[in-house]
Amino acid sequence: MKIAVLGTGVVGRTIATKLVSLGHEVTMGSRSAGNEKASAWAKQSGKGAYHRDFARAAESGEIVFACTAGLGTLDALRMAGVLNLRSKVLIDISNALDLSNGFPPVLSFRGDDSLGESIRRAFPEVKVVKTLNTVNAEVMVSPARVPGDHDAFVSGNDIGAKAQVIRILHEWFGWKNLIDLGDITTARGTEAYVLFWLQLMRGLKTTDFNVQVPKQ
Amino acid sequence: MKIAVLGTGVVGRTIATKLVSLGHEVTMGSRSAGNEKASAWAKQSGKGAYHRDFARAAESGEIVFACTAGLGTLDALRMAGVLNLRSKVLIDISNALDLSNGFPPVLSFRGDDSLGESIRRAFPEVKVVKTLNTVNAEVMVSPARVPGDHDAFVSGNDIGAKAQVIRILHEWFGWKNLIDLGDITTARGTEAYVLFWLQLMRGLKTTDFNVQVPKQ
């Protein structure tokens, strides 16, 4: 499949590398076509790995992963262009964290909005599904790094898009347990969760962890 | 033991009822000594159940549970009075949620502060330990309502106070798995987590759930 991965950070490179290893044709998108990190990634990854600017990358993808820093997501999608994204499944992994004042990051939203929803408002024809932002990049594509049962969460309004994303998480990335939280407003929960994740990381002194949700 | 429970809502009543059932002498504190909910609770609970205003309740307690709504916690503690709280272990269960504009609630903090920390700043001689705000009231005192292994979290700066709270959660409330996240700043994580809890509740259609943290 032809896939666009927007973003050249750890999340973008990890997702893109995994997709290439599965035999997909992956185009990493960045602000400028000559981005050094994207270029180095494509060179290192070899066959099936390309890099272009956001618009060309989005145009090439049958599905699109949004992996930029959260503050840059909407800008990146605007540069990608509404026509290049229209009717496509957009897997939003970005986190609604503002690091402009350094560490600790603060949430961009207090619970009455989310990045997932703001993407949907700005691009109503895009089928946005929020997922994977609750785990470390390596765990996203290798959930078996964490022992035992543990869960990934999906939020989105388009049932078909959500089913496709669940299939991708299951069959490509190896996720066994997936919880469909509901529509895209449920991204408010998983986006706020990241503050909890940061404190758990401090307490557990590892990034190879996740949560499992036992219920009655 | 003599215990003060500040707050007359579901959390306060559930905690206080559990403590009475264990044979403790529990005083429920409220803004005014004549509070109807506190009075009804004490009457219904019988032996060992009392109700007073915040100051008299705090004075009576060897340890103090803060179970008010988050926006009212600091006010309640000011009314309780610094002399009545001094050097005591304060178990803060309140949530940093602002419901003044109705549902959905918004977080009072974005990740650069927490209710736990603000209590510690306002009452530096109080040994504040944040815990249990990540589960429903019934689960707080009956963790076995949720099947399997699942975790409660504690945050606090005083090691001895934290050890005492861990013992209380373990021996009185029946918690098997406790994660010490670290100092009180880690309450930023568990307080933000509540937005995730709210979305999970929507998705799972039950309040009898919790998370377990598998790690490498």
pLDDT band at A197 (very low <50, low <70, confident <90, very high): very high
Most A-contacting residue of B193, B194, B205 (CB-CB within 10 A), to test interface: B193
Cβ atoms < 10 Å from Cβ of B3: 24
**B103 burial via Cβ count (<10 Å: 0-12, 13-18, 19+):** exposed
d(CA A3, CA B198): 33
Chain B 139-158, residues with CB within 8 Å of chain A CB atoms: 145-150, 155
Residue A204, chain B, CB below 8 Å: the answer is: yes
Q: What count of Cα atoms within 13 Å lies in the side-chain half-sphere of residue B179?
A: 25
In terms of CA atoms, which chain B residue is nearest residue A107?
B110
- Does position A211 have pLDDT exceeding 80, yes or no? yes
The answer to whether the Cβ–Cβ distance between A106 and B111 falls below 8 Å is yes
Q: Which residues of B touch A216 (CB under 8 A)?
A: 145-147, 206, 208-209
Structure confidence by residue, pLDDT tens digits, A142-194: 999 999 999 999 999 999 999 999 999 999 999 999 999 999 999 999 999 99
| Secondary element (H or E) of residue A157 | none
Sequential pLDDT tens for chain B (216 residues): 999 999 999 999 999 999 999 999 999 999 998 999 999 999 999 999 999 999 999 999 999 999 999 999 999 999 999 999 999 999 999 999 998 888 889 999 999 999 999 999 999 999 999 999 999 999 999 999 999 999 999 999 999 999 999 999 999 999 999 999 999 999 999 999 999 999 999 999 999 999 999 887
In terms of CA atoms, which chain B residue is nearest residue A203?
B181
- Residue B179 sits at φ, ψ, to 5 deg, of -115, 120
Average pLDDT value for chain A: 96
ipTM greater than 0.85: yes
Structure confidence by residue, pLDDT tens digits, A91-135: 999 999 998 888 889 999 999 999 999 999 999 999 999 999 999
Most B-contacting residue of A95, A110, A149 (CB-CB within 10 A), to test interface: A110
The answer to whether the Cβ–Cβ distance between B216 and A145 falls below 8 Å is yes
The answer to whether the Cβ–Cβ distance between B186 and A208 falls below 8 Å is no
Residue A128, chain B, CB below 8 Å: the answer is: no
The answer to whether the Cβ–Cβ distance between A182 and B193 falls below 8 Å is no
Residue B211, chain A, CB below 8 Å: the answer is: yes
- Does position A216 have pLDDT exceeding 80, yes or no? no
Q: Which residues of A touch B214 (CB under 8 A)?
A: 146-150, 209-212
d(CA A44, CA A70): 26
Q: Which residues of A touch B192 (CB under 8 A)?
A: 107, 192-196
Residue A212, chain B, CB below 8 Å: the answer is: yes
Chain B 172-191, residues with CB within 8 Å of chain A CB atoms: 179-182, 186, 188-190
- Does position A200 have pLDDT exceeding 90, yes or no? yes
Q: Which residues of B touch A213 (CB under 8 A)?
A: 200, 204, 209-212
Closest Cα in chain A, distance from residue B56 (Å): 35
- Residue B33 sits at φ, ψ, to 5 deg, of -60, -25
d(CA A198, CA B186): 9
pLDDT of residue B103: 84
Residue A130 CB contacts under 8 Å (≥ 6 apart), including other chains: A92, A93, A114, A115, A116, A154, A155, A156, A184, A186, A187, A190, A191
